[in-house]
Structure 1
């Protein structure tokens, strides 16, 4: 009699799946930490390896994607941070599942019938981020549509920050989750965890942001003293002080998204032609687009010896690049919540109450 097929058994036994992947997560972390100490890599590498392994330990028990899975909510808009999350999710599935998603979509391109035809069974993952709630309503409308379209099928929301301003929207979300019947919510900060546990009536798991699963990234040679990556949208903090680099410091002040940009008719035509000519599967096209966005972010942040920012993923990307940086929180504490839970103790990270204080901290950093 031949030996039992352990891989096949794990694919059909959730307990075996969880045990195998729990162990592999710890093994990966141990190896990453060992290499970082041997090579003298920055302490940030220890933080990154620890958080990537913890993400695996928290995510793997929620569903078994070994026979196929869907990944929804590709960021088809100009926000580098959401592209970093998407690439972290792809890195996670590449490493721990060993197969690409059987179905991917944007919010506007989601078709439940196409999903069911391409993937008759298997979990559905919703990309993580900072838009669960009603501050960015189109994303929540999409999630509720997914839950109503896929009742009874396992849906896992990858790590999010939650913010609702209207109790009626909380009630609508809670009702959709209850009617769906098989939803798991991952959050990346303690406040969101407490809210979801109290209000949403579903399984809730606290886990790091998925972008850490990309691992450390190669940083370019700096060409200036600093990059200020500063929000210009509704999440920009009120009373944050003047966004003005200290005198004598060569710094670029910029942002990495264009909110509310509506493509012109020629842009829409060119985009449609490009999509028609590109015969690659959607998963490969989305991957390439996200990689281009990541390269743009690395170029922006990596140009500075240090970074000042009020964007969460500029903070995370600075860690991945090994860049010292100063963080000013956004309008509702999103960055602070992630830092309190996961990253605030890393020596590359410095907190400032406003941009005036951040400028003083930056000047001190650049002296070293």
Structure 2
């Protein structure tokens, strides 16, 4: 049986995002060192939170661990033969997030398939929230995980750690913050700010929505309710360097109210002139990595237009921390948001977590009073 180790730093202060990033680095030292690897389960969808995680992972692996990522794939385009050609028996890393469990079975089934198939090398699951609603699904996952001779699991909250150490007893288990904290302190974020006179409510509408916190129930005026702006771009865009393509892009952007010169200029600078863009050339499938980079710009630009944010998305919370935006975090449908906040971010001065809709207004006012200089917005 492998030993499971809880990451603890008694007396450590988590009062700034930078300090949480430092804890992330200390936690990930448990990975060890290796020259190259595969990073699997690329988020082939528009949920920006998973793209922030992915970017944090590739920047950590390349910049901090100095590891070459010689193969990346999403669930649909994973090719076992190609991976073998690219990495041999090097370690496999599985992307982190909030899908280790039975809420998002597509990702969990892929994870279990990889762990079952590749017993000849280390497999590392980057920071995840663990949540199973059905005991049978948990037992199935535990059997697969425990049968692997060298499986390391990082978890994002104390409840996930409790579950993982109890059921995944043959794995090495460590606590670590979310991989998106690797993005804290990166250049090119401060210049994005263009505040609107309203509050952004970034509200998810999927099966993780806590029904008590729907937009109609929170009672806040001067509020803009929307999800990630990237969801507006679900369909492939035509190549902009063709005349028909340019006409279509301009037409669609005008319909959506997105073709502001400021936004367009910001996007071009981000895509082509940001100092981080050269990093993608050193990673397998650079275009895949650039796709995540573009999704990040959508979110950074969206958030930077607001002085205050309310969100029920965990990565709405984390992006606010990265950008320094005061905000209120709401519960999701299970314990993910609350326990992550309790584990890592509750000491940060410009965020609040509330457990009922009646607490939102006082929390916003408290943030305004703490920040100072902002007028009451509701």
User: TM-score over 0.5 for the alignment?
Assistant: yes
SS of residue paired to 1:153? coil
Residue in structure 2 matched with residue 308 of structure 1 by the alignment: 310
Question: How does the TM-score come out when normalised to structure 2?
Answer: 0.76
Write the deviation string for residues 33-85 of structure 1: whole angstroms up to 9, x where unpaired.
xxxxxxxxxx99x62222222222222222322x2111111111010000000
Segments of 5+ residues of structure 1 without an aligned counterpart are 1-42, 271-279
Q: Secondary structure at the match of 1:161?
A: strand
**TM alignment of 1:116-131, pairs within 5 A:** 116-131=84-99
Q: Which runs of 5+ in 2 are unaligned?
A: 1-12, 240-280, 373-378
Question: Secondary structure of the residue that 1:304 maps to in structure 2?
Answer: coil
What is the TM-score of this pair, normalised by structure 1?
Answer: 0.78
Question: Equivalences for 1:104-183 in 2 at 5 Å?
Answer: 104-183=72-151
Distance apart, 1:117 and its partner CA: 1.2
Moved more, 352-361 or 93-102: 352-361
Task: Please state how far the C-alpha of 1:180 moved relative to its aligned partner.
Answer: 2.4
Matched, 1:86 2:54: yes
CA RMSD of aligned residues (A): 2.7
Q: 2:166 aligns with which of 198, 212, 216?
A: 198
- Secondary structure in structure 2 of the residue aligned to 1:114: helix
Rounded to whole Å, the distance in 1 between the matches of 2:292 and 2:83 is 22
- Which whole-Å CA distance do the structure 2 matches of 1:269 and 1:226 have between them? 33
Counterpart in the other structure of 1:61: 30
Give the aligned partner of residue 333 of structure 1.
335
Deviation at 1:323, TM superposition (A): 0.5
Deviation at 1:214, TM superposition (A): 1.1
Partner of 2:286: 284
> Is the contact between residue 225 and residue 366 of structure 1 (CA under 8 Å) also seen in structure 2?
no
**Secondary structure of 1:64's aligned partner:** coil
Q: Deviations over 1:85-124 (max 9, x none)?
A: 0111112112213343011010111122211111013211
Q: Secondary structure of 1:253's partner? A: strand
Structure having greater relative contact order (Cα 8 Å, sep ≥ 6): 2
Say which is worse superposed, 141-150 or 131-140, in terms of deviation: 141-150
- The 1-side partners of 2:197 and 2:66 are apart by 40
Task: State the distance in 1 between where 2:217 and 2:185 align.
Answer: 29
- Farther-moved stretch of structure 1 (145-154 vs 215-224): 215-224
Partner of 1:255: 227
Instruction: Give the paired residue count.
Output: 312
Equivalent residues of 1:112, 1:149 under 8 A apart: no
User: Secondary structure of 1:162's partner?
Assistant: strand
